[in-house]
Amino acid sequence: MTQWTDERIPLWVPPVEGEALDSWIEAYARRLAVTGGEFTRFLGLSGTNPRFMVRRLTHAERDALARRTGLTPEALAAMTLDRFDGVTVAIDPDNRTMGRPPAWRHYGSRSRFCPACLDDNHGRWPLSWRMPWSFACVRHELLLCDYCPACGHPPPVSTLGRGGPSSPSVCLHATETGRAIRCGYLLTESPTPALRPDGAVLAAQLAVNREILGASMAEQALTRGQELHVLARRALRGIRELPSAPSVVDAILDECGGALPALAARDEANDAHNTAVGTAVAMIATDPGHPACDEVFAWLLSTDRPRVPRSNYATSKISEWLPAGPRVVNRMLSAADSELTFIARLRYGTATPAPCWPDRSDEDVRHRASKLPAMIWPSWAFRLLPAETDAPVAGLRRACSSLMLLPGTNWDYLQTASLLGNTSPKSNRRALDTAVSLSGTETLVMVLPALAKALDSHPVPIDYARRRRLFSPDSVAFDHNAYQALCQRHGWRSHAPIRIQRLRWQLARLLLGAEPGAASRTPIGHLTFHYRLHPDLHELLHEQAAANLESHGIDEPVSWEPPPAWVTDLSLPPGSETINRSQLTQYAADGPEPAELARLLGLDDARLLLAVETFGITAPQPVQQRPPTPGRRLPRRGVLAPRSLKRLYQEQQMLQHQIAELAGCSITTVRHALDEAGIPIRRRRPAGYLKKTISRAWLEKEYHHKGRSSPDIARELGVRKDDVMRLVSKWGIPRHPTGHFTNPFASLDTDLSPAMHAVSRTKNCIQRLRHLTATSRHRTLQGAAAELGVTWGTLNYQLKRIEEAAGFTIIDFGRSRPLSITEDGHRFLDEAARLLSLLDGHSP
């Protein structure tokens, strides 16, 4: 209340708690012995009507009332319906007319009443009686009245100005048009049903007061009101149309007077009786703690709309309940889980604790896709992989990623698969269907929607959509110099196109978080290559992946996976965390075959490979130590000494063949000396380098006379095979005839015996000579075959072909056991061992 001013009315009539503005104006007018209209005109508010003022005050009305009565503007606003606009009532912003409210058709332009409250308060009307959700008096435990028992009309709260001052608690309805003759019935004597103190109706009113009328969040109140309204309307239809109802519904009817709610034409059955019965039933149906909750909810679901649905499919029926809000729809989806298809269960998440109707936009789908690799992360694939399946793991992983875009959306599988670049969705679905047919769908329909929901609500540090646009095996930048330096450190061949191709494939796979392409099966070569990947190569790939990201200005980790803690509302299947990582590292250090390592860890092959990918632990085969070879190992001296070689090759920029001429050795020996001294080979050569490096005589001798192959010569010179053959053609050197087998020992610059020369021109002679030398160490041919992993017949065939080319018997096993080596055979085997040792890179 403001201070007393000269303009303020000397007589003060305070409002009662919760009173409506028009009721307070009418009470003030009665105190001054005038009508409500005369009182507002006296206040300077000519042309105004308390029926409109109780809805929303204009600035002029609020200022005049505050100035003349002393009530604060805040207190005046609290006596109007303005704060409930859009929640329980709908007020036009221009002319203050009442539109259809969000629930029920009690517009708020008239007021219900409790006879006992009017008697206690001397005819003062609370604002809450105008609300559609007010149907019971919790103070006197009575059902509210809608109409005057005498005239049958809603009683007005205020008078406009004709006639004398009003009397409290009487019906002010004008019984004759144009004349100030009011009904005059004493409303405190209106009959109304008494409610049970522990009954469902009073409990429903208290809940409504708390959850809707007294809610602090308008959006929550509106959602709850819509939910209760739809269920209440279905309950009223079921009471009138269905032959039987749950016993708790009959108890509510008895509590409200024992009669069915009436259908009134004026208000379309939205009186207090209908509202009380419907709301009480709806409250029970949405209260999980009530013992009749499930029974009442199931009964409400049977109250279909009068029109025939287009389809009997479960989701078609559920769509009719969308106005009830997410809680009701989600509950119905859970109940319909057993009736739905696999895709529908994923779309609606019916197997999860929180199913939902699709509400994701196309942009939401694309945003989720940017958080997903084309193949689901290996640790999550480990969880989702069926216990026993013959399905391709890559196809299953692609299908799972595509399916993760379905929950909460109206997209179909082909759309989501194409969005992720899985352009062979049919083969991916076949892999999925195979897995599902073997082990069921329950894990997938529970985990995939939950993980999709977690992705929507958490930030992801990798933009996979951008990576799919940027990277492929052909577009990734691969540092050949770093790779060659690593090869030199380990003594690996650096010029291996298939290895480089697979490294680029693995690099793209690391950046994409998925295998490049859209195949449902991982190529066996890439699979084996990754399993056997050396730790230093693994580290090199990660370094190059980070460099690729940095070159595009991308600040992201190379790889990432969602933590299991993101999914908290269900129990996840066991994942890779069940594997002892140190034990895996220990077992993998011996380089076992995948099947053997899987057996040691108690896994199947598919889960083992997923674990290897998750932990980044591979199983490279240990380097086999070669047995010592005959001859001496002496430090390089003279021209090939490291210091001299560095001066000639790096400072004087001499070519390898020039150094070979100075040292009196082959170019291969010079190259080995450079490698041993740690001197990097020059990679960039000027145009015409090969022509300047070698002479026609040298090339004719190596290629034509010695019978060396062009790839062999190219490897020695560090050039391409095509460069060598271009010079062969340019210089007119005769080409090898068709079917010619090159001499593998030609690069060793050593003389061969006639027998070895003949053998060197046969097919696969190196492999056969290795098998021959291994056989000579065994007592029987069968024992040698077992060690070499070949059949006895194969080994026998190879030995016969060598002896045919050599022209004599090397190993005699026809009449004597153990195997015996002939005198010529001893000389041949010694030569073979020496040549193979030289070929393997040992100094003579």
pLDDT digits (tens, 9 = 90+) for 539-555: 999 999 999 999 999 99
Q: Specify whether the CB–CB gap between 546 and 556 falls below 8 A.
A: no
Q: How far apart are CA 210 and CA 276, in angstroms?
A: 16
| CA dist list (Å): 149 to 115, 145, 253, 263 | 11, 9, 21, 17
Per-residue model confidence as pLDDT tens digits over 276-308 = 999 999 999 999 999 999 999 988 888 765 544
Average pLDDT over residues 126-154: 94
Q: How far apart are CA 87 and CA 101, in angstroms?
A: 8
Q: Using alpha carbons only, how large is the chain's radius of gyration in Å?
A: 46
Q: Specify whether the CB–CB gap between 637 and 665 falls below 8 A.
A: no
Q: Specify whether the CB–CB gap between 267 and 106 falls below 8 A.
A: yes
Average pLDDT over residues 309-313: 57
Specify the pLDDT at position 118. Answer: 96
Query: Is residue 173 predicted with pLDDT exceeding 70?
Result: yes
- Return the H-helix or E-strand segment holding 582: helix 581-588
Peptide bond into 818 cis (omega under 30): yes
Per-residue model confidence as pLDDT tens digits over 381-394 = 999 888 766 678 88
Specify the pLDDT at position 686. Answer: 62
Specify the pLDDT at position 629. Answer: 44
Mean pLDDT taken over the chain = 84
Q: How far apart are CA 244 and CA 253, in angstroms?
A: 13
**Alpha carbon 656 to chain centroid, angstroms:** 57
Burial environment of residue 350 by CB neighbours within 10 A (0 to 12, 13 to 18, 19 or more): buried
Q: How far apart are CA 253 and CA 258, in angstroms?
A: 5
Q: How is residue 262 annotated by DSSP? A: P
Q: Which residues contact residue 745 at a Cβ distance below 8 angstroms, ignoring those fewer than 6 apart?
A: 752, 756, 760, 835, 838, 839
Q: Specify whether the CB–CB gap between 541 and 507 falls below 8 A.
A: yes
Q: How far apart are CA 280 and CA 519, in angstroms?
A: 58
Q: What is the CATH topology of the domain spanning 754-839?
A: Arc Repressor Mutant, subunit A (1.10.10)
Q: Picking from 134-148, 160-174, 392-406, which range would have the lowest pLDDT averaged per residue? A: 160-174
Average pLDDT over residues 513-528: 89
Confidence of residue 378 (pLDDT cuts 50, 70, 90): very high
Q: How far apart are CA 639 and CA 662, in angstroms?
A: 7
Specify the pLDDT at position 179. Answer: 58
Specify the pLDDT at position 641. Answer: 84
Q: How far apart are CA 499 and CA 490, in angstroms?
A: 15
Number of other CB atoms surrounding residue 83 within 10 Å: 14
Range among 459-468, 575-584, 819-828 with highest mean pLDDT value: 459-468
| CA dist list (Å): 467 to 166, 373, 464 | 79, 9, 5
Q: What DSSP string runs through 687-756?
A: TTHHHHHS-HHHHHIIIIIS---HHHHHHHHTS-HHHHHHHHHHTTPPPPPTT----TTGGG-----HHH
Residues pairing with 579 in the sheet:
none
Per-residue model confidence as pLDDT tens digits over 197-233 = 999 999 999 999 999 998 778 888 999 999 999 999 8
Query: Is residue 39 predicted with pLDDT exceeding 70?
Result: yes
Residue with tokens 């209260």: 287
Residue type, 231: L
Per-residue model confidence as pLDDT tens digits over 477-515 = 999 889 988 888 887 877 778 888 999 999 999 999 999
Q: Residue 156 phi/psi, 5° resolution?
A: -70, 155
Q: Specify whether the CB–CB gap between 162 and 214 falls below 8 A.
A: no
**pLDDT > 70 in the chain, percent:** 87
Q: Specify whether the CB–CB gap between 88 and 108 falls below 8 A.
A: yes
Tokens of 237: 């239809």
Q: Picking from 77-81, 421-425, 651-655, which range would have the lowest pLDDT averaged per residue? A: 651-655
Query: Is residue 635 predicted with pLDDT exceeding 90?
Result: no
Q: In this structure, are strands 142-143 and 811-812 parallel, antiparallel, or unpaired?
A: unpaired
Average pLDDT over residues 15-23: 94
Taken as a whole, the chain contains a residue count of: 844
Q: How is residue 652 annotated by DSSP? A: S
Q: Which residue has the higher pLDDT, 660 or 833?
A: 833
Specify the pLDDT at position 476. Answer: 94
Query: Is residue 263 predicted with pLDDT exceeding 70?
Result: no
Number of other CB atoms surrounding residue 538 within 10 Å: 17
Query: Is residue 1 predicted with pLDDT exceeding 70?
Result: no
Q: Which residues contact residue 99 at a Cβ distance below 8 angstroms, ignoring those fewer than 6 apart?
A: 90, 91, 92, 107
First to last CA, the chain: 114
pTM of the model: 0.63
Specify the pLDDT at position 267. Answer: 43
Query: Is residue 36 predicted with pLDDT exceeding 50?
Result: yes
Specify the pLDDT at position 739. Answer: 52
Specify the pLDDT at position 199. Answer: 93
Q: How far apart are CA 580 and CA 586, in angstroms?
A: 10
Q: How far apart are CA 88 and CA 204, in angstroms?
A: 16
Angle at 276 between CA 190 and CA 171, to 5 degrees: 25
Q: How far apart are CA 148 and CA 170, in angstroms?
A: 9
Q: How far apart are CA 124 and CA 105, in angstroms?
A: 24
Dihedral, CA of residue 827, residue 831, residue 832 and residue 833, to nearest 10: 100
